[in-house]
Amino acid sequence: MGSPITTTISEHVAIVRFDDGKANALGHEAIDAFHRALDEAEEAASAVAIIGRPGRFSAGFDLNEMKQGPEASQALVRRGAELLLRLYGFPMPVVAGCTGHALAAGALILLSCDERIGIDGDTKIGLPEVAIGMPLPRFGTELARDRLTNRQFTRAALLATSYSPVEAVEAGFLDEIVADDLEETVIGRASELGSRLSKAGFRITRQNARGKMITGVMAELEADVSTFSVSGN
């Protein structure tokens, strides 16, 4: 199996496909590949489209790596937080194509993107951490607080509620769902945003809107991650 991330640049859109052939787990290799994709986007694109594999957007952090002990799990979560906050503060529009299940860190990727378009179907989206023996770190709660509706924040973050695609739109994990042609829709949306929006205006407004939160979360990241544990660690 090659890299879990492949990137192509088409009409100023960085098309980032996440496909590890399995559950699209977010491990160190995938995080490294995501950063390389974002580096490429900053060099050559004006918008980003992130698309999962059919049926699986992302199952979250790689549990095989998480179960190697507290230090290993905290190191992975720290690097995941850095990636998510980079996406959240990225200097160009980011559109996610939610191709299927998006759980835990997979759902946090959605919360980090500007527009989230999902495929209709029998899939689940949510933050199950509290139900599976983990806390939701502060960076996760702050992303959820910003992007989810007030009415659903407690149910999603504290009560580990899972949502269907339709319910995920109401909750704030997704902005819309389509019956088919997801990839075409996502790439087209990214192209439209990248062409229509001022690069400098977007970058400065992004900093104005999200910079304070990102700086605050990053300043406390070590303390935040130090409280993280997997049940049994």
204 in any annotated domain: no
Share of the chain above pLDDT 70, in %: 98
Q: pLDDT for 85-108, tens place per residue?
A: 999 999 999 999 999 999 999 999
* CATH classification of the domain holding 179: 3.90.226.10
224 in any annotated domain: no
210 in any annotated domain: no
pLDDT at 133 over 50: yes
Looking at residue 111, what is its pLDDT? 98
pLDDT at 116 over 70: yes
For residues 160-188, give the mean pLDDT: 98
Number of domains in the chain: 1
198 in any annotated domain: no
Looking at residue 216, what is its pLDDT? 97
217 in any annotated domain: no
pLDDT at 7 over 60: yes
Looking at residue 233, what is its pLDDT? 47
pLDDT at 229 over 90: no
pLDDT at 120 over 50: yes
140 in any annotated domain: yes
Which range of residues forms the domain containing residue 179? 5-193
What is the residue-wise DSSP string for the chain? ---SEEEEEETTEEEEEE--SSS-EE-HHHHHHHHHHHHHHHHH-SEEEEE-BTEEEE-EE-HHHHTT-HHHHHHHHHHHHHHHHHHHT-SS-EEEEE-EEEETHHHHHHHHSSEEEEE-SS--EE--GGGGT----HHHHHHHHHHS-HHHHHHHHTS--EE-HHHHHHHTS-SEEESS-HHHHHHHHHHHHHHHS-HHHHHHHHHHHHHHHHHHHHHTHHHHHHT---TT-
For residues 21-42, give the mean pLDDT: 97
pLDDT at 31 over 80: yes
223 in any annotated domain: no
Looking at residue 232, what is its pLDDT? 45
